[in-house]
């Protein structure tokens, strides 16, 4: 899924770099900063919130892409997952729980709520990190 969303992340990163005002670049260069200093001290600090947002929102999108995960990741279910083994995604687990003769609506609902909470936490993390980075570099 990451490879599928990599072009999106790259494009949003490019947009975040393009959005940095040309006047800031020119001001930095006119004050005697080198091109490298301008990139690392002016352009990247102003573009990092956009880059971070693109990355974390893409992660949220990966979590939320239930149908694509079912068909691309397979349906291997492991009740005893280990770090060194492959495991299933939450979306595939919902599909497995609901596909049997006796669907477990309570478990499927709980897993769905867990997915929603994970996406919400990622989105709030983006906002918090962006706010902190902006506040740190504004000083």
Tell me the per-residue pLDDT of 90-132, one tens digit each, with 9 for 90 and over. 777 777 788 778 888 888 888 888 888 887 888 888 888 878 8
Token match 């397979």: residue?
Answer: 74
Q: What share of the chain is helix, strand, coil (3-state, %, to 5)?
A: 80, 0, 20
* Lookup: tokens for 136: 């740190």
Nearest to 53, CA basis, from 135, 139, 134: 134
Q: What is the pLDDT of residue 17?
A: 92
Instruction: Give residue 21's region: left, alpha or beta (phi > 0; psi -120 to 50).
Output: beta
Q: Please give the tally of structural domains in the chain.
A: 1
Q: What's the domain range around 111?
A: 2-138
Cβ-Cβ contacts under 8 Å for 49 (sequence gap 6 or more) = 16, 129, 130, 133, 134
Tell me the per-residue pLDDT of 47-89, one tens digit each, with 9 for 90 and over. 888 888 888 778 777 766 665 656 555 555 556 667 776 666 6
* 35 vs 3, higher pLDDT: 35
Contact criterion met (CB below 8 Å) for 63 and 119: yes
Q: How far apart are the first and last CA of the chain?
A: 38
Q: Looking at residue 68, which CATH number applies to its domain?
A: 1.10.3720.10
> How far, in Å, CA of 133 to CA of 135, rounded?
5
């Amino acid at each position: 899924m990451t490879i599928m969303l990599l072009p999106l992340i790259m494009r949003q990163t490019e947009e975040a770099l393009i959005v940095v005002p040309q006047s800031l670049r020119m001001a930095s260069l006119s004050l005697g900063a080198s091109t490298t200093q301008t990139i690392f001290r002016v352009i990247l600090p102003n573009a990092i919130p956009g880059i971070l947002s693109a990355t974390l929102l893409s992660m949220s999108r990966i979590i939320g892409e239930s149908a694509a995960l079912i068909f691309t990741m397979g349906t291997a279910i492991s009740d005893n997952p280990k770090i060194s083994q492959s495991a299933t995604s939450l979306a595939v687990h919902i599909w497995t729980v609901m596909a049997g003769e006796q669907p477990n609506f309570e478990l499927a609902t709980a897993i769905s709520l867990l997915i929603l909470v994970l996406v919400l936490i990622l989105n709030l993390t983006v906002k918090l990190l962006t706010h902190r980075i902006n506040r740190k570099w504004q000083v």
